[in-house]
Structure 1
């Protein structure tokens, strides 16, 4: 492992100042992904700015009914928080579906959003990878194994998927990611925080250089609405998704008034299913309506040689969750 400087920040301002003064720095939260990548030689930071002790470790209920989770709140604590379980069940379910109990006790909210792909070609420095080293090629696409890779939104530069379960739920719930950086504070919709690969797969997110995630805002508009998360994987636990889905579904007067749907493990970012949502709003929550909406969304899929199974798998997951959230009499 390459030697590096270490700075423990006492405030958000200290963290961003330290980052700016150490070119090649990385922020360190729980370290459950970054440290692993450092051991593999994928990440070689010149400095680590430790933000794990910043006062961003609380879940705060705001006067307007929204909920703010600080960036250093541990995944296990966020999943267990009564307000999250009661008002945003899809988020609690997604967090509990991720990793192991030990990792959830260490991993942070901000770090979860910033974790890198688990593509084996990205993690193996002996293999070509445009995400790790732009311009070297894509080992998964160029004759490699791509069973676990993207079927939506990929490019000829990268077919990796984003691994987070939490991010999928946040996208469906219309959450926002709060950031602080050299230019001040701002927030970005969770559904737009991560990028599709395009010509620059090395850029995972819309975060600006030096910006620090300070929290996640869960809006009042989706608080208390029926929501759920479901994940398919190769084994019952401690595995990344082959496909997953988070759904928020609100009915009024016998029709769908609000729908939020996001797929995981199908794309370089959580895939917000806007076509499906638009097709459902105003429709009766019937099996036929659900099938039409999901099929409309997944028609954009471009599966590769090894991963065509993901399309029907994601379809079945989405239909199952939609059916469970709708009143039984209407399905």
Structure 2
């Protein structure tokens, strides 16, 4: 780990002033991902700006009946917050499927959005990696790629996004609020994370001089019919091979609206609103869910070792939607 300076910000404006003009400075809250990156010599900030004392740790009423979550709310506090458990149980379930209790106690809402990929090659500083060093190559394309992307990848990068929480936020149509020298702005969750394209080193649409201040949820939380399923190699503390966040609004036995987001399959939480239209007005049964899953996975392009993810994703989608209808016990 390289040497670095540590500063503490007392306000959002103070944090932005510390960051300004220092391209090697990074904000740190729980540090559950950044410190890993520093230990592996993947990230080498010369200055860390402690933001844990900023007034961004509240969960409060949002606009039009929604919920506003401060960027410093811990994953544990968010998962067990009464409003989240009752109105957005899909989010609570997704958070509890991730990491470990100790990590959830430290990890922040804003930090979870900014997690970097867990690709073997990205974490190995001795290997080339376009995400870590643009133009150096992507050994995962021809190497060990069992955990890698089947959707939205490029010749430059086939890594996947590691977050469980973000998959639920994608399904819930969250909005990310950020602040910077130019003022405040809101970013729809669909547009926050980026596909790799020719710039795999750029993970999000957050500018280098901005800070996340909050995540806002709309009033609709799919609290009556929802499911989060995470398929992984072991029962706990493992990243998803495939995960599915599903929310439905039913009109009797007919689907009135639907939201389905996938994790473990792409560089960002994967949601296809056009494919979701195939569910609207259809009976809430296995045939409808299978047709939707087939359409959603039609663009998939597997690598040498991860073709199994296509069938796995289809089965998991059907299972998640079926559980959302029946409201089986969530585990």
Instruction: Identify the TM-score tier after normalising by the shorter chain.
Output: over 0.9
Give 2:48's aligned residue: 48
Q: Equivalent residue for 2:214? A: 215
Trace 1:46-125 onto structure 2 (pairs within 5 A).
46-62=46-62, 64-125=64-125
Match of residue 245 from structure 2: 246
The answer for the alignment partner of 1:22 in structure 2 is 22
Give, in angstroms, the shift of residue 255 of structure 1.
2.0
State how far apart, in whole Å, the 1-side matches of 2:224 and 2:290 are.
22
Q: Are positions 1:323 and 2:322 aligned together?
A: yes
Q: What does residue 129 of structure 2 align with?
A: 129
| Residue 190 (1) aligns with residue 201 (2) | no
> Residues 79-111 of structure 1, C-alpha deviation per residue, up to 9 Å, x if partnerless?
000111111111001100100000000000000
1:271 counterpart SS class: coil
2:280 maps to 1:281? yes
Asked whether the equivalents of residues 67 and 217 of structure 1 are also in contact (C-alpha less than 8 Å), the reply is yes
* Distance of aligned partners of 1:21 and 1:6 in 2 relative to their CA distance in 1, 3 Å threshold: farther
Q: TM-score, normalised by structure 2?
A: 0.96
Contact between 1:88 and 1:227, CA under 8 Å: does it hold in 2?
no
SS at match of 2:161: coil
d(CA) in 2 for partners of 1:52, 1:3: 21
What secondary structure is seen at the aligned counterpart in 1 of 2:310? Answer: helix
Q: Secondary structure at the match of 1:14?
A: helix
- Tell me the CA shift for residue 63 of structure 1: 6.2
Give the structure-1-normalised TM-score. Answer: 0.96
Q: Give how far 1:225 is off.
A: 4.6
Report if aligned partners of 1:74, 1:105 keep a CA contact under 8 Å in 2: yes
State the secondary structure of the residue aligned to 1:216. Answer: strand
Counterparts of 1:217 and 1:326, CA distance in 2? 26
1:222, distance to aligned residue in structure 2 (A) = 3.1
Which residue matches 2:203? 204
Match of 1:3 in 2: 3
Distance across 1 between alignment mates of 2:100 and 2:28? 20
Deviations 1:46-82 (A, max 9, x none): 2111112211111112363211110000000000001
Q: Note if contact 2:222-2:248 (Cα within 8 Å) is conserved in structure 1.
A: no
Q: Is 1:257 equivalent to 2:234 in the alignment?
A: no
Q: Is the contact made by 1:229 and 1:245 (CA closer than 8 Å) also made in structure 2?
A: yes
1:150-169: per-residue Cα shift (whole Å, max 9, x none)? 00000000000000000000
Aligned to 1:35: 35
CA contact (8 A) 1:275 1:293 kept: no
Contact 1:174 1:222 in 2 (8 A): no
Compute the displacement of 1:327 (Å): 4.7
Query: Structure 2: any 5+ residue segments left out of the alignment?
Result: none
Which sits farther off after the overlay, 115-124 or 269-278? 269-278
Question: Following TM superposition, by how much is the alpha carbon of 1:133 offset from its aligned partner in structure 2, in angstroms?
Answer: 0.2
Q: CA deviation at 1:223?
A: 5.8
Q: Show structure 1 runs of 5+ residues with no match.
A: none
Q: Secondary structure at the match of 1:224?
A: coil
Q: Secondary structure at the match of 1:280?
A: coil
CA distance in 2, matches of 1:292, 1:307: 22
CA distance in 1, matches of 2:257, 2:323: 16
Q: Tell me, yes or no, if the aligned pair for 2:226 and 2:323 is still in contact at 8 Å.
A: no
The alignment yields a C-alpha RMSD, in angstroms, of: 1.3
Contact 1:28-1:50 at 8 Å conserved across structures: yes
